[in-house]
Chains A and B, each alone.
Chain A
Amino acid sequence: MLAQQLFNALVLGSVYALFSMGFTLTFGVLRVINLLYAFYVAAGAFLSLVAVRDFGVPLWAAGVFGAIGTGAIAVVCDTAVLAPLRRARAPELSSLIVTLGAALLLNSLMFLAFGAEVRRFPATLLSQAPIDLGVLQIGQIQLLIIAVVALLAALLFLFIERTRLGVAIRALAENPEAAALMGINVGVMFAGVSFLAAVLIAIAGILIGLNFDAVHPYMGEPLMLRGFAVVVIGGLGNIRGALVAGLALGFVEVMTAGYLSSNFKDAAGFAAMVITLWLRPSGLFGKAVTRRA
């Protein structure tokens, strides 16, 4: 019982972590609360569902298609909607509201295209029979989720810490003006970061769709709110923090549902966030912010 719950928590937490790493990456660089992320979750799942169902491509290829397609949508959104506000040096909150409008537009279009009903990936994609370890039943989908998230997290760390582009992204997060003076093409980097974040978020959407066997236009909303909580607990812009806090949220939710009450599962994460902010206003892994006049 406990072993099974710990394993389920690891699966759930992995998806939260993947989503939140994408989230915190853009947050650290673009400094915008972007309400399009819920749309990217569903867009990734729908694009790969269409690829599998209507074009019969294998799951891995459909996943790549869904991720890159969503990334392309994110680049278009960033260029069309957020870039003009950056150029105008508009207040931060107008960026939040513009993503609200864009999310309303895109969600409504997706609703018109696919309807509200719940869709499923074909059952033949992955073997449904779990691997039985006695104390533990491991589904193939669950193994896939853990493997994919571990791989992507490792690649993301290598990219951010070890490559020139990663250094440029960190410079941009630290100080956009200084980064621009050092010859970093800020516009291209913003689009690139949007692409990368949307790819991670779309893959999280595909994995959630497979895990819960349900794809529908509003599947991203609960994930987005949890993402907010995780990103804040981990410290804004802190990728390692998002990974740890995402896994932790999975454990908190599964344990609350298992030992307390499943009614309060959803509240656990938000309560944890409020308490974290109370004790450490910049998140568990965040640096203290000093404001300069």
Chain B
Amino acid sequence: MPQWLDDFLWAYGSFVYGLGVNAILGLSMYAVLALGQLSLGQAAFMGIGAYASAVLTLKFGAPFPLVLTAAMVAPAIAAMIISVPTLRLTGVYLAMATIGFGEVMRILYVNTDYIGGALGLSGIPEKAGGSIIFGLLAVILAGFLSATRSKIGRAFEAIREDEDAARAIGINVGAYKLSALVVSAALAGLAGALNAHFSSFIGPNEYGFDTAVTILSYAILGGVTTPLGPVLGAVVLSALPEVLRPLHDFRLVFNGLVIVLVVIFLPRGILGLHTRRVG
């Protein structure tokens, strides 16, 4: 590693790693939005992955690959369980039910002493470096890009445009919805584990409503017509507070203003205009 890159990562390491993790979260959101499902459980799944990974590392000393696998499996199982009451919900009702799920999880963390209660868990070893995070991001992004060009991608598009018509031509809508939710949950869990293993601290309030809406904003601001949109949205929105740092006290005011202006002028997302479908 060249000296300048080493210096840069020493100073901005967690910021750069955060960009990668947030991009994975954006893709996790994309997995359900591509079907037209407004599930806001990503923050909750991220929390399950983060807690599962931290417990395995801190209390059992498990090897890191196993930790990451468990951090994907645990939220995937949780997704299958909550799909029972939520799979037939759509639109705002689905959003609300998944927000409710996130709040219930948050309150469970706060009241469970084994995982640190309201204080959370700290001293998690910093095992997730740039190569792991960005390597995984590249693999996931490549997977999404090839899936959109395949039969799966066309089925997703058909369901998003008209669920009844998709069902009528023989697409198994329920199976696609369930697998989208499970993939989305697994990715959010992975992001949670990676985040826990470079920030070295997790707490119950990091996976609440604010985080859920922030993850949604990555996808919407970037645009959901291509998997590249949520990645770009995550990078822009995560970098914005750093870029605006010279504004000091007015930083968040301008951050809000930028979001408002981008949405008003590009309501379909930054990459939304570029790839708008004809017809």
A residues in contact (CB < 8 Å) with B:
27, 33, 35, 81, 84-85, 88, 90-94, 96-98, 100-109, 111-112, 221, 225, 228-229, 231-232, 236, 263-264, 266-267, 270-271, 273-275, 277-278, 281-283, 291, 293
The answer to whether A98 and B259 touch across the interface, beta carbons within 8 angstroms, is yes
Interface string of B76-89 (1 = CB under 8 A from A): 00000000111011
> Nearest 3 A-B pairs (CB), nearest first?
A101-B259, A105-B256, A90-B267
Provided the pairs A94-B267, A101-B263, A274-B101 are in contact, do residues A264 and B107 lie with their beta carbons within 8 angstroms? yes
Residues on A with beta carbons closer than 8 Å to the beta carbon of B221: 97
The answer to whether A277 and B86 touch across the interface, beta carbons within 8 angstroms, is yes
Residues on A with beta carbons closer than 8 Å to the beta carbon of B145: none
Residue among A101, A277, A278 facing the most chain B CB atoms (10 A cut-off) = A101
Residues on A with beta carbons closer than 8 Å to the beta carbon of B264: 81, 84-85, 98
Provided the pairs A108-B252, A225-B99, A228-B99 are in contact, do residues A85 and B267 lie with their beta carbons within 8 angstroms? yes
Return the chain A residue nearest B82 by Cβ.
A274
The answer to whether A94 and B220 touch across the interface, beta carbons within 8 angstroms, is yes
Binds A, one of B61-69, B90-98, B169-177, B186-194: B90-98
Interface residues of chain A: helix, strand, loop or mixed (majority): helix
Bound Cα distance from A271 to B82, whole angstroms: 12
Return the chain A residue nearest B266 by Cβ.
A94
Interface string of B246-264 (1 = CB under 8 A from A): 0001111101111110111
Provided the pairs A98-B263, A106-B256 are in contact, do residues A277 and B96 lie with their beta carbons within 8 angstroms? yes
| A-B contacts, 27 listed (Cβ < 8 Å) | A81-B260, A85-B264, A90-B267, A93-B33, A93-B38, A94-B263, A94-B268, A94-B269, A97-B216, A97-B221, A97-B259, A101-B259, A101-B260, A101-B262, A103-B256, A105-B255, A108-B252, A112-B253, A228-B96, A229-B100, A232-B93, A232-B96, A236-B92, A264-B107, A274-B86, A277-B93, A291-B163
Return the chain B residue nearest A236 by Cβ.
B92
Residues on B with beta carbons closer than 8 Å to the beta carbon of A92: 91
Bound Cα distance from A111 to B100, whole angstroms: 27
Q: Is B6 an interface residue (CB 8 A)?
A: no
Q: Point out the residue from A105, A263, A273, A291 that lies within 8 Å of B100, measured CB to CB.
A: A273
B residues in contact (CB < 8 Å) with A:
33, 38, 84-86, 88-89, 91-93, 95-97, 99-101, 103-104, 107-108, 110-111, 162-165, 209, 213, 216-217, 220-221, 249-253, 255-260, 262-264, 267-269
Return the chain A residue nearest B33 by Cβ.
A93
Residues on B with beta carbons closer than 8 Å to the beta carbon of A85: 263-264, 267
The answer to whether A281 and B89 touch across the interface, beta carbons within 8 angstroms, is yes
Bound Cα distance from A277 to B268, whole angstroms: 30
The answer to whether B103 and A270 touch across the interface, beta carbons within 8 angstroms, is yes
Residue among A81, A221, A228 facing the most chain B CB atoms (10 A cut-off) = A228
The answer to whether A277 and B85 touch across the interface, beta carbons within 8 angstroms, is yes
The answer to whether B268 and A91 touch across the interface, beta carbons within 8 angstroms, is yes
The answer to whether B85 and A271 touch across the interface, beta carbons within 8 angstroms, is no
Bound Cα distance from A35 to B263, whole angstroms: 15
Return the chain A residue nearest B101 by Cβ.
A274
Provided the pairs A91-B267, A225-B209 are in contact, do residues A274 and B217 lie with their beta carbons within 8 angstroms? no
Residue among B84, B101, B103, B209 facing the most chain A CB atoms (10 A cut-off) = B103
Return the chain A residue nearest B84 by Cβ.
A278
Bound Cα distance from A107 to B33, whole angstroms: 28
Return the chain B residue nearest A282 by Cβ.
B93
Q: Least Cβ distance of A218 to chain B in Å? A: 11
The answer to whether B255 and A104 touch across the interface, beta carbons within 8 angstroms, is yes
Residues on B with beta carbons closer than 8 Å to the beta carbon of A98: 259-260, 263-264
The answer to whether A112 and B249 touch across the interface, beta carbons within 8 angstroms, is yes
The answer to whether B252 and A293 touch across the interface, beta carbons within 8 angstroms, is no
Residues on A with beta carbons closer than 8 Å to the beta carbon of B33: 93
Provided the pairs A85-B264, A273-B97 are in contact, do residues A93 and B216 lie with their beta carbons within 8 angstroms? yes
